[in-house]
Structure 1
Amino acid sequence: MKKVYLVASGDLRLSVNQNCWAAQEAMEKQVTAAVEREGWKVVRGHPYDPILKHGFLDSQRHGIEVFRSIPPDTPLIVAEAVWQYTHHVLPGLMTHHGPILTVGNWSGQWPGLVGLLNLNGSLTKAGIKYSTLWSESFDDDFFINGLRDWLKTGKVVHDTSHVRAFDEVRVPENVAQIGVTFAKEFRVNKSIMGIFDEGCMGMYNAIIPDELLSPVGVFKERLSQSALFAKMNTVSDVD
Structure 2
Amino acid sequence: MTYTIPQISPPPKVGANEAILVASGDLRLSANQVCWAAQQEMEEKVIAAFAREGITVRRGHAYDPVEKHGFISSQRMGMNVFKNIDPDAPLIVAEAVWQYSHHVLAGLRAHRGPILTVANWSGQWPGLVGMLNLNGSLTKAGVRYSTIWSENFDDAFFIDGIRQWIKTGQIVHPLTHVRRLNADALPAAERELGEALAAQLRHEKAILGVFDEGCMGMHNAIIDDELINPAGMYKERLSQSALVAAMRTVSDSEARAVYDWLLGKGMQFRLGTNPETDLTEDQVLDQCRMYIAAVRIADEFGCDAIGIQYQQGLKDMTPASDLAEGLLNNVERPPVHHAHTGAVLYEGRALPHFNEVDECAGVDALVTNRVWTAMGFDPATTLHDLRWGEQYGENYVWV
User: Which deviates more from structure 2 when the two are superposed, residues 160-169 or residues 55-64?
Assistant: 160-169
Separation in 2, partners of 1:148, 1:197: 42
Residue 151 of structure 2, aligned match among 136, 143, 146: 136
3-state SS of 1:166 partner: coil
Q: Distance in 1 between matches of 2:78 and 2:184?
A: 43
- Is 2:189 the counterpart of 1:174? yes
Structure 1 segment 183-202 matched on structure 2, within 5 A? 183-202=198-217
Q: Secondary structure at the match of 2:20?
A: strand
Cα–Cα, structure 1 residues 119 and 169, in superposed 2: closer, same or farther, change >3 Å? farther
Once the two structures are superposed, residues 180-210 of structure 1 have per-residue CA deviations (whole angstroms, 9 ceiling, x without a partner) of 1111111111111111121242111111111
1:169 & 1:36 partners in 2: Cα distance? 52
Q: Which one is further off, 79-88 or 198-207?
A: 198-207
**Among 166, 170, 173, which residue is 1:151 paired with?**
166
Deviations 1:147-186 (A, max 9, x none): 0000110000001101101247721122111111111111
Partner of 1:119: 134
Does 1:46 pair with 2:61?
Answer: yes
* 2:51 paired with 1:36: yes
Normalising by structure 2, report the TM-score: 0.58
CA distance in 1, matches of 2:147, 2:64: 27
* Map of 2:104 onto structure 1: 89
Matched residue type, 2:108: L
Q: Secondary structure at the match of 1:53?
A: coil
Other-structure match for 2:122:
107
Question: 1:64 & 1:195 partners in 2: Cα distance?
Answer: 28
Unaligned runs of 5+ in 1: none
Cα distance in 2 for residues equivalent to 1:135 and 1:215: 40
* 2:70 is the alignment partner of 1:55: yes
Q: In structure 2, give the amino acid aligned to 1:3.
A: E
Distance 1:210 1:166 in 2: 25
- From the superposition, tell whether residues 29 and 168 of structure 1 become closer, same or farther in structure 2 (CA, over 3 Å): farther
Q: Which residue of 2 aligns with 1:222?
A: 237
What does residue 203 of structure 1 align with?
A: 218
Farther-moved stretch of structure 1 (161-170 vs 67-76): 161-170
TM-score after normalising by structure 1: 0.96
Q: Distance in 2 between matches of 1:195 and 1:201?
A: 13
Q: What are the Cα deviations for residues 82-126 of structure 1, in whole angstroms up to 9, with x where unaligned?
A: 111111100100000100000000002121111111111111111
Q: Which has the larger radius of gyration?
A: 2
Over the matched positions of the two proteins, sequence identity in percent amounts to 64
For 2:45 and 2:38, how far apart are their aligned partners in 1? 11
Q: Where does residue 379 of structure 2 map in the other structure?
A: none
Partner of 1:73: 88
Q: Amino acid of the residue matched to residue 218 of structure 1? A: M
Across the aligned residues of Structure 1 and Structure 2, the Cα RMSD in angstroms comes to 1.3
CA distance in 2, matches of 1:149, 1:213: 37
Report the CA distance between 1:230 and its aligned residue: 3.3
Aligned residues: 239
- Identify the match of residue 39 of structure 2 among 2, 24, 45: 24
1:177 counterpart SS class = helix
Q: Which amino acid aligns with 1:54?
A: H
Distance (Å, rounded) in 1 between the aligned partners of 2:36 and 2:250: 42
- Give the residue type in structure 2 aligned to 1:112: G
Task: Return the alpha-carbon distance in structure 2 between the equivalents of residues 2 and 25 of structure 1.
Answer: 22
